[in-house]
Every structure is written in structure tokens, then in C-alpha cells.
Structure 1
Amino acid sequence: MTFIYMSVMYEVLCVQIHFVLLISRQGKVRLTKWYSTYSQKERTKVIRELSGVILTRGPKLCNFVEWRGLKVVYKRYASLYFCMCIDPDGNELEILEIIHHYVEVLDRYFGSVCELDLIYNFHKAYYILDEILISGELQEPGKRTIVRAVAAQDSLVETVKEQTASISTIITQATK
């Protein structure tokens, strides 16, 4: 009986996400992450179709859209739509929680995140997303753990920059 309960719990917690899109109100794509295989042509078509569907929906309508036999869950925060595509039998409320979790981590990291933060620091937005999701499944639910991992990554990048600068200085002095 315990084994059956654990396997049911595992199924509930492991919703497969096919892709993540962040789209501005103007329809510009700010971030994409694909966990299922799509050709470049298909990706372009998906983005165009979903942008048209999501951006034209009224604010009072629900945040779930059935699309091509899949389900798209989206949530608007300020000027961005955060969209995730899941299987039709996936849990929409869990995906809304994952979207909200991602936004909260972005807020903690950037301090009230805005669209410009994501435009100019897209690599950090991707890194945070990669800390939260692996292969389209939730990896880390702890906000502090994620922010610590990103801070450690930032520290590592700064150390490498310093080392590169010092090596460049040594090379410049040696070639004079």
C-alpha cells in the first residue's frame, strides 16, 4: 500500500512541461526554454500562434488554454506573460504555482523584477529557470537555495573575470 501511495504522489509532483515562454504585451518573446523537441520552424509557429491566442484573451478569462491537444497555462505579471505548456492531464494549479515560484525567485534576485531586467540579464533569467526546472520537471522548490546557487554562480563569474584580467595584465607586461 505504501508503494502505491508513493507512486501516486510521484505522478502528482512530476508534471512534464514541454516549453516555457515569456512574452511581452506587445508580443515580443523575452525568454524561451524548450523541453520537448521542436524544429526551429515549429518553434516559430508555436510562438506566433500562442502569442495570438494569449494576448487576445480577456483578463477575466481563466489562465488555461487547450491548444493542439496540449494545455497552456499562463499568468500575467506586469507587462509579461509567463506561459508553460503541459500534457492535457497535467495539473494546471501546480503549473501556476511553478510560474509564481519562478517570478518570486526573479523578484528576490533582481529586487522587483521588470521586463528590462530580463532583457539585459537574460542569462541570469535562464540560469534561475534551470535551477527551478530540469528536463521540464520541478527540481528545486526552495527560494533561498536557488538564490544562493545563483549568487555562487555570480561569485564564480566575478572570480574568473578577475583572473582573466590579471592574466591579461601579465601578458601585456611581458610583451612590452
Structure 2
Amino acid sequence: MIHFVVLISRQGKVRLTKWYSPYSQKERAKVIRELSGMILTRGPKLCNFVEWRGYKVVYKRYASLYFCMCIDQDDNELEILEIIHHYVEILDRYFGSVCELDLIFNFHKAYYILDEILIAGELQESSKKTVARLVAAQDSLVEAAKEQASSISNMIAQATK
């Protein structure tokens, strides 16, 4: 099981977190501080697995972001690396060569895509096409809601004149 997902920039800024196990706010801050200190100081030639508090943390660096997932000791690290890569590929398809700024300004989309891939810390959808189709459907629903809200506000504005 994946206990949490954290995306950290090279400067140590947290760009995205998703918690699948219960942690208090104080514990979450401590976990992020510990992991970012541990992962950011590791050399690029070292392996992408770290043992931490009886768990394993699997991470992979893409451009300026570290994608980190905490798993149980007996889980398969290579499978988690594939899940991380799968998530990055879907982000790339959606944003067209995803960068850190895409995640900063469109964090809700990054969360939505992650929620389509993982549910309760387990892999839910392995098909990139299915995830892309679901995200496109969500985008069209959002656009329809924006248009409806715009038309309602226009009608109210005209009625109050």
C-alpha cells in the first residue's frame, strides 16, 4: 500500500501531497521535513529507495521535481517506480511536457489525475487512454458549469438594470 505521495522541488518546496494513511498536521510537517532533507541530500548515482521509519520511500527525479511515495517494507519498489513514471507520463500528455509551474498553477488537475490513478493507496487505473478520457470528461464538465454560471450572471446583470 502507498501511504502517501509527496512532490518536492529541488529547493525543498512541497508542490503536492496526498495522504492515504492518517497523520496529524504536525506529523505531516515532520515527515515532509525529514524526507525532503534525506532525499535532497542524496547523490544522483544512489538508488531511488530509502528505508525510513519501518517503511520504504521510493522516489524519482524528473526535471526539477522529486516524486516520492512511501510504501510498506514488503511492497515491490519497481512497481512503485512504474506508478511514478505512469503518473509523470499522464501529466506530460495532459500538460504537454509538464513542468513545475504547471503543477503550481494547475494543482487541482494534478490531484485529479493522481486520484484517477490511485485510490486508497492502491493502483486503480493503469491505462493512460482511460485516464486521459476521464480527465477530458472532467474538463468538459467544468467548462459547461463555467458557461452556465456566466449565462446566469449575465441574466442577473440584465435583470437588475
TM-score (norm 1): 0.91
| Deviation of the 1:174 alpha carbon | 1.1
| Deviation of the 1:60 alpha carbon | 0.5
Aligned to 1:99: 84
Q: 2:61 aligns with which of 49, 63, 76?
A: 76
In the alignment, structure 1 segments of 5+ residues that lack a partner are 1-15
Output one character per residue of 1:100-155: Cα deviation in whole Å (capped at 9) or x when no partner. 00000000000000000000000000000000000000000000110111111011
Aligned to 1:122: 107
Aligned to 1:161: 146
Aligned to 2:160: 175
Aligned to 1:26: 11
Equivalent residue letter for 1:91:
N
Equivalents in 2 of 1:171, 1:108: separation in Å? 39
| Deviation of the 1:35 alpha carbon | 0.1
Q: Percent identity among equivalent residues?
A: 85
Equivalent residue letter for 2:95:
F
Equivalent residue letter for 2:11:
Q
- The answer on 1:88 being equivalent to 2:67 is no
Q: Which runs of 4+ in 1 moved over 4 A?
A: none
SS in structure 2 at match of 1:84: strand
Aligned residues: 161
SS in structure 2 at match of 1:59: coil
SS in structure 1 at match of 2:67: strand
- CA RMSD of superposed structures (Å): 0.4
Q: 2:21 aligns with which of 22, 26, 36?
A: 36
Aligned to 1:113: 98
Structure number with bigger Rg = 1
Equivalent residue letter for 1:58:
G
Equivalent residue letter for 1:80:
L
SS in structure 1 at match of 2:17: strand
